């Protein structure tokens, strides 16, 4: 299997993006601890976010919540599709078994009809 330049470039982009998002998530998770540590060592307090910075933080939080909602919906959709596929597969198997049974019955009836016709032809 050979990779094209476009595929390699896309793979490299994905590899570069994953560590960055993990770093940002880690940093965001440590922010409350860093704030408290800063206040304890310096005695200064960090003022609460206001204006544009607060708006950006609120927007980022909303985006993160929306992403989580979308991810959950996609996960639920995948699960639902898999369950439906399995159910349809079971239905198909059941119908195939029923078809085989009915074909065997039809063959048996045809054989009986053929025997009856042969008996009547000999008379």
Reply yes or no on whether the pLDDT at 85 is more than 70. Answer: yes
Angle at 64 between CA 79 and CA 25, to 5 degrees: 105
Separation of alpha carbons 76 and 79, rounded Å: 5
Separation of alpha carbons 78 and 60, rounded Å: 27
Do 66 and 74 contact (CB within 8 A), yes or no?
no
Reply yes or no on whether the pLDDT at 7 is more than 60. Answer: no
Kindly state the average pLDDT of the residues 67-87.
95
Q: Which position has the higher pLDDT, 114 or 21?
A: 114
Reply yes or no on whether the pLDDT at 55 is more than 80. Answer: yes
Q: Terminus-to-terminus CA distance in the chain, angstroms?
A: 73
Domain ranges for the chain, please list them.
Answer: 1-46, 50-123
What 8-state DSSP symbol labels residue 34? H
């Amino acid at each position: 299997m050979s990779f094209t330049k476009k595929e390699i470039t896309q793979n490299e982009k994905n590899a570069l993006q994953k560590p960055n998002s993990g770093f940002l998530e880690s940093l965001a998770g440590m922010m409350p601890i860093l704030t408290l540590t800063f206040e304890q060592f310096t005695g200064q307090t960090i003022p609460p976010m206001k204006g544009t910075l607060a708006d950006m933080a609120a927007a980022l939080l909303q985006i993160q919540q929306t992403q989580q909602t979308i991810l959950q919906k996609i996960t639920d959709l995948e699960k639902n599709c898999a369950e439906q596929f399995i159910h349809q597969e079971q239905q198909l198997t059941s119908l195939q078994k029923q078809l085989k049974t009915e074909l065997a019955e039809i063959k048996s009836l045809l054989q009986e009809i053929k025997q009856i016709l042969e008996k009547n032809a000999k008379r």
